[in-house]
Amino acid sequence: MKILLSGGGTLGPVTPLLGLVEYWRAHNKLVDLVWVGTVHGPEANMVTSQDVRFISIASVKIPRYVSFYWLTIPFRLVYAGVEAWNVLKAEQPDVIVTAGGYVSVPLVILGRFMGIRSWVHQQDVLPGLANKIMARFAAKISTTFDASKDVFPSKKTEVTGNAVRESMLQGSRERALLKFGLSPERKTLLVLGGGGGAMWLNESVSAIAADLTKKWQVLHVTGRDKHHMVNVSDKYYVTEPLINDGMDDAYAIADVVLCRAGLGTLTELAAVGKPAIVVPIPDSHQEMNAFHLYEHQAGLILDQTETTPQILLSSIRTVMDNEDVQMRFAANLKLTFPKDGTKKIAEGVLKLAGESDAKWSRERKDPSPLERFLEEGEEGYTTGMTEHSQERVEEDVQQEEQGSEPLPLSIQEQVARALGNTVVHVEEASEEDYPFETKEL
């Protein structure tokens, strides 16, 4: 049985699929794995480090703004389609699995024409354009949250929770001390800039580094090729561009994690039981993820557009200095995610691949894939959504264009809600200390 995994460009759609890889291998599933990702993304090293064969193809992102890039899109789509077709013909997988990313779109669409079933996993609360396109051609769709399921056709959609790398639970504080040169006497703030590196997060944290290291130590994962953004010389401030081997140890030593609102990271934080300060990318699907956490009091949520380095420092102090806040945020985050997501998705994919072996191989002979696709379309395949689901899609598209509702700005309010309205003092930093001008991503 061969499974083709696809995703990349960022690490968001990558880490859940690596969780599936770990599950299949841990349970002695005899599967042949191949991964199709982007040419320049950060995923190649992570995938090959897991002994999974990696193939790169062109990825065509559809921008939501006017640009000369639009003139090249038709040619890029044709090129990406040809590469995807060649990969599918050469590999002949039984099933395609993706958790998003534009690189996966031609594989899922062409796979449908070729009689190869696809499993699309929706991590985020709000589906992106790539997953909305692929959902129309997928045989099965899984979602992390119940709030996402109505966007997709109900007959082929299941709420499973998210997949997570079980290896992240095997981290060692002692190994982290040696690996990263950290002190056993200090609390640790883990900063995750993401696989591609978050400019705002990297620069904001480095601007307050001197204050952070007065009391704590910082392990700052800047993102690939973003190491130069953080120019801090302090024995209590350790920077790493990207941790392929040892992320479990980084989680183990962390007392608090400062990160974006990607679901892959948040799922892993829930699994390892770490409290988070979350700064979603403005005007993106991450804001809905963060708002979902806010509703469940599962972390301290900050709006980047309103967060100065002073506010960021105050937020970090509030959580780092209060163990009750840390425990409550970590516990609520764990409760936010459905259990056994990895097992449900991994076993479901194997079942779907088996159905592909039995059913789709017979159907490939007569009628042709194109005729079969057209027939199923007439029967309602592409119109299988209910009117309610179609309305939700339109609302989500409009919400993506306009941005989701504003995130809460009050640190005191969020901490008080998490502690049952207990009043917590928030120490304010001096505005004059940090004449720092933030930059847009």
Q: Which structural domains are found in the chain, ordered by start?
A: 2-162+340-385 (3.40.50.2000), 170-337+402-424 (3.40.50.2000)
From CA 60, how far away is CA 102, in angstroms rounded? 6
Q: Is 417 annotated among the ligand-binding residues?
A: no
Q: Is 286 annotated among the ligand-binding residues?
A: yes
Nearest to 293 by CA among 265, 252, 321: 265
Question: Can you tell me the mean pLDDT for 328-348?
Answer: 95
From CA 362, how far away is CA 38, in angstroms rounded? 33
Strands 256-259 and 237-240: unpaired
Query: Quick check: 407 and 316 in contact, CB under 8 A?
Result: no
Q: Mind listing the pLDDT tens digit for each residue in 145-193? A: 999 999 999 999 999 999 999 999 999 999 999 999 999 999 999 999 8
- Please say whether the dihedral angle defined by the alpha carbons of residues 203, 205, 211 and 212, taken in this order, is positive or negative: negative
Amino acid at 414: Q
Q: What is the pLDDT, as a whole number, of residue 417?
A: 73
Instruction: Give the 3-state secondary structure of residue 219.
Output: strand
From CA 197, how far away is CA 205, in angstroms rounded? 13
Q: Mind listing the pLDDT tens digit for each residue in 55-93? A: 999 999 877 777 788 888 889 999 999 999 999 999 999
In which residue are the tokens 């449908």 written? Answer: 112
Query: What are the Cα distances from residue 33, in Å, to 6, 18, 80?
Result: 11, 11, 21
Indicate the average pLDDT of the chain. Answer: 84
Q: What is the pLDDT, as a whole number, of residue 353?
A: 92
Phi, psi angle pair for 7, to nearest 5°: 165, 150
Q: Mind listing the pLDDT tens digit for each residue in 238-297? A: 988 777 789 999 999 999 999 999 999 999 999 999 999 999 999 888 999 999 999 999
